[in-house]
Amino acid sequence: MNHSQAAEEFTHDVERTTWHDKTLWFVREKRDKAVFQIPEWEALREAGSRIKAHALSNLDEYLLEFEQNAIRNGVKVHWAADGKEHNDIVLQILQETGATQMVKSKSMLTEECHLNDFLIEKGVDVVDTDLGERVVQLAKEPPSHIVMPCIHKKKEEIGALFHEHLGTEKGASDPKYLAEAARQHLREKFMTRRAALTGVNFAVAETGGFVVCTNEGNADMGAHLADVHIASMGIEKIIPKARHLGVFLRLLARSATGQPITTYSSHFHRPRPGQTMHIIIVDNGRTTQLGRPDFRNSLKCIRCGACMNTCPVYRRSGGHSYHNAVAGPIGSILAPNLDMRKNADLPFASTLCGSCSNVCPVKIDIHDQLYKWRQVLAAEGYVDNSKKQGMKLMASVLANPKLFRFSGKAGRTVMRLAPFSVSNPLNPWYKQREMPEPPKESFREWYVKRGKS
Ligand code: SF4
């Protein structure tokens, strides 16, 4: 299903759509309140954007500096060109350790690489330990949001899921009760797993250390109890200096959930005695994106999710409609880079209102890039012929004042005399809308008359 078909399925459930919309808007409002308390917010955004731009322009040097420092700290560093290589490296580490079970904290990169499916196929029991991630894992679904993975699920649905898999009381939907049940369930997993995988929010070239941000402490529990800690990071996670963390940690939590700081911002530098620590640095299409001048800025993303919470299309179509690991506006500019054919629909899933660019903490020009992707996709032949012909026709009408006036008049007449010709189920634009009353005259006609009088 393409985005519009999947979105149509989502919106059939009117109650869920309305509630999803309101919930995400509530998070957006929390973000606004947190941001307005910081007079230097715009300066912070500017600093974050510039640091990232600098890091991306010198990525080769900073990645090597990071590698050298991490090795000096006693960490084993691996490089993966794509998702397959990343998954193979994880499997190899697990096999060398003799681990057949692993706990994993939230990592959108591993979603992008489809690590869970790969490992499960190879006989490894992978347990996601972020509460939302565990919910979608039990439901056999992908996350629908990068910060709130099960935001599309109601507490009653989670109660039913936990009753089936964790043996909680039938019909229970009290969030406290369910969270406690998940806590006990996950504790047993933490205590018995020898291997843990975490994501990386920021990797500091200067120190070879990295920071992982969670609100539940699950990354820390996993990493501290396991014999082997694997950290997976995309190449764009690099920042040059430790002092730059002060900028990004302030931007991230406020933009994501409206918190002043993420509950756990854990700094990892070296393995504890007796532990092995691995870092896998993954490209998976990022250097291609870096080489596209119009789209390289998308690599500044710190995965806060603010562009999703504010997007009127995301809020009313749900994350799964984007059929990509990262949904929403940022996902729609990252996904075509990975596969233009498969993801050609995504840059069109936007009103281009620009709200995403307004809230982005690192000032990515998201809506401009969505617009530019449309042009690239059309030029590369990935846009429906009917849409292309329709646009050509529209362009010729708009370029010819006489034709434009005639078309307007003809359209108004048809809408008045035969409204069903446009207001019918075959016309997708009118499926969920009321027919507007056709005006008696165009603005131009009114303006000319007014001028004469
Ligand atoms: S594009 Fe900007 S707003 Fe969207 S997730 Fe990334 S950093 Fe956040």
Rounded to an integer, what distance in angstroms lies between the CA atom of residue 161 and that of residue 411? Answer: 52
Q: Are 267 and 316 in contact (CB under 8 A)?
A: no
Q: Which atom of ligand 1 is least distant from the CA of 356?
A: 3
The response to whether residue 306 sits with its C-beta less than 6 Å from ligand 1 reads yes
pLDDT digits over 331-373, tens only?
999 999 999 999 999 999 999 999 999 999 999 999 999 999 9
Using the predicted structure, report yes or no on whether residue 120 has a pLDDT greater than 70: yes
Give residue 428's pLDDT. 76
Give residue 43's pLDDT. 98
Closest CA to 160 of 131, 143, 187, 138: 138
Rounded to an integer, what distance in angstroms lies between the CA atom of residue 273 and that of residue 121? Answer: 32
Which protein residue's CA is at the shortest distance from atom 8 of ligand 1? 304
> In the structure, how many helices (H) and strands (E) does the chain have?
21, 10
The response to whether residue 330 sits with its C-beta less than 6 Å from ligand 1 reads yes
Using the predicted structure, report yes or no on whether residue 453 has a pLDDT greater than 70: no
Q: Are 86 and 284 in contact (CB under 8 A)?
A: yes
Q: Which atom of ligand 1 is least distant from the CA of 255?
A: 8
- How does DSSP assign 244-270, residue by residue? GHHHHHHHHHHHHHS-SS-SEEEEE-S
Count, residues in the chain: 453
199 φψ region: left (φ > 0), alpha (ψ -120 to 50), beta (else): beta
For 350, counting Cβ atoms within 10 Å of its Cβ (0-12 exposed, 13-18 middle, 19+ buried), the class is buried
pLDDT digits over 22-79, tens only?
999 999 999 999 999 999 999 999 999 999 999 999 999 999 999 999 999 999 999 9
Rounded to an integer, what distance in angstroms lies between the CA atom of residue 277 and that of residue 227? Answer: 9
CA 360 – ligand 1 centroid, Å: 5
**150 in helix, strand or coil?**
coil
What residues form DSSP beta bridges with 103? Answer: 127, 196
**44-53, 308-317, 390-399: least confident range:** 390-399
CA 104 – ligand 1 centroid, Å: 23
pLDDT-derived band at 311, boundaries 50, 70, 90: very high
Give residue 421's pLDDT. 82
Rounded to an integer, what distance in angstroms lies between the CA atom of residue 173 and that of residue 158? Answer: 7
What residues form DSSP beta bridges with 127? Answer: 103
Which protein residue's CA is at the shortest distance from atom 6 of ligand 1? 301
Cα-flanking dihedrals φ and ψ of residue 173, to 5°? -140, 15
Give residue 425's pLDDT. 78
Average pLDDT over residues 189-200: 96
Which protein residue's CA is at the shortest distance from atom 4 of ligand 1? 307
The response to whether residue 360 sits with its C-beta less than 6 Å from ligand 1 reads yes
CA 356 – ligand 1 centroid, Å: 8
Looking at per-residue pLDDT, the higher value among 121 and 428 belongs to 121
The response to whether residue 195 sits with its C-beta less than 6 Å from ligand 1 reads no
Rounded to an integer, what distance in angstroms lies between the CA atom of residue 101 and that of residue 53? Answer: 39
Using the predicted structure, report yes or no on whether residue 433 has a pLDDT greater than 90: no
Mean pLDDT, the chain, rounded, equals: 95
The response to whether residue 362 sits with its C-beta less than 6 Å from ligand 1 reads yes
Using the predicted structure, report yes or no on whether residue 186 has a pLDDT greater than 90: yes
**210 in helix, strand or coil?**
strand
Q: Which of 49, 145, 303, 365 to mutate to test the pocket of ligand 1 (most atoms within 8 A of CB)?
A: 303
The response to whether residue 299 sits with its C-beta less than 6 Å from ligand 1 reads no
The response to whether residue 331 sits with its C-beta less than 6 Å from ligand 1 reads no
Signed CA dihedral, 305, 306, 309, 314: sign only: negative
Give residue 112's pLDDT. 96
CA 126 – ligand 1 centroid, Å: 28
The response to whether residue 364 sits with its C-beta less than 6 Å from ligand 1 reads yes
Alpha helices in 210-311 (DSSP H): 218-225, 245-257, 286-290, 306-310
Rounded to an integer, what distance in angstroms lies between the CA atom of residue 9 and that of residue 43? Answer: 42
Q: Which atom of ligand 1 is least distant from the CA of 303?
A: 5
CA 83 – ligand 1 centroid, Å: 22
290: Cβ–Cβ under 8 A, 6 or more apart, which residues? Answer: 56, 59, 296, 299
pLDDT-derived band at 420, boundaries 50, 70, 90: confident
Q: Which of 35, 366, 367, 369 to mutate to test the pocket of ligand 1 (most atoms within 8 A of CB)?
A: 366
What residues form DSSP beta bridges with 203? Answer: 210, 238
